[in-house]
Structure 1
């Protein structure tokens, strides 16, 4: 195995294998994407759950899983929560983000939907759309009908990933210090988790 082939990867001692939990609001779309990362089991153990919960319930469940693991002395090095703004009440969205932060849960949010991350692989986008428009635009950009739960989206977009990371960062920078996740549409922090996982790609 040639570990030098991955430009993202950093050296991690063999004895410090990370145990990481990723809990997703969606049952298929987000879990399918993150499960496709070919991370090295010599470096990290990644558990991805698709829970089909609303954001409040998802954050509370992630907190409970974190506490349960700590009680069993099987603590996760990191717990990530992946969720969308979608049609969720605005005040609840920011509140959920703050509760997660207060409990050392890393937040990966998208406003309005996870599909903004896919769009950013093709171009910089800063116009507010609902999720149906994202689906139509993705069908046009991909050249075939976009299917929300497609398990191969990671592979189909992998070569364009650096572009998406650049665009996601640019989008957040444009909002500046007053960035408000519940009202800044579109926005996403998916790239933060993507860059984290890229550190452990085989």
Structure 2
């Protein structure tokens, strides 16, 4: 993924100030997962920032944090089940992978998700765990909204 992003930057007619790499832990080896954050930091300079927006155990943690907070470690299947359960209970929605309309259904609760993601970061910091592969559950996916917020115009609930 990083090589592809570098190629896009190298061959694109325009320049990019920010390059966002969104990925999740799933079944990737811990060392491969952890190295992405370091590589993004090494590639960043005064003209371009590479952002490693990881999620552990899976991307579904980010939408789950809109409706639920927990520090209990989980696997991807468990996270997806929790998301399905809370979407059904709280919003009457049936979840499936790559479902349409999820962003719109949760947009008003993005502020809650951002606060929950930050709380998870503080939780893992307190445990003294610097490696992203060990920070389960945790996500940095919400950080992109710090840049996009002026363009989205949504109430952050």
TM-score bin, normalised by smaller chain: 0.7 to 0.9
Equivalent residue, structure 2, for 1:68: 11
- Aligned: 1:123 with 2:123: no
Runs of 4+ in 1 over 4 A off after TM superposition: none
Q: Which has a greater percent of helix?
A: 2
Equivalent residue, structure 1, for 2:47: none
Hey, what's the Cα distance between the residues in 2 that align with 1:138 and 1:85?
17
Segments of structure 1 that go 5 or more residues without pairing to the other structure are 1-57
Figure out how many residues of one structure are paired with residues of the other and give that number: 142
Cα deviation, residue 179, structure 1: 2.6
| Aligned equivalent of 1:156, options 102, 105, 110 | 105
Name the TM-score, length of structure 1 as normaliser: 0.66
Hey, what's the Cα distance between the residues in 1 that align with 2:129 and 2:86?
32
Hey, what's the Cα distance between the residues in 2 that align with 1:77 and 1:113?
27
Deviation per CA, 1:16-58, whole angstroms, max 9, x where unpaired?
xxxxxxxxxxxxxxxxxxxxxxxxxxxxxxxxxxxxxxxxxx1
Calculate the aligned-residue CA RMSD, in Å: 1.5
Conserved 8 A contact 1:139-1:146: yes
Conserved 8 A contact 2:36-2:52: no
Cα deviation, residue 65, structure 1: 1.0
Hey, what's the Cα distance between the residues in 1 that align with 2:119 and 2:152?
25
Conserved 8 A contact 1:110-1:189: yes
Deviation per CA, 1:40-92, whole angstroms, max 9, x where unpaired?
xxxxxxxxxxxxxxxxxx111111211222xx4x1012111000011100011
Segments of structure 2 that go 5 or more residues without pairing to the other structure are 45-49
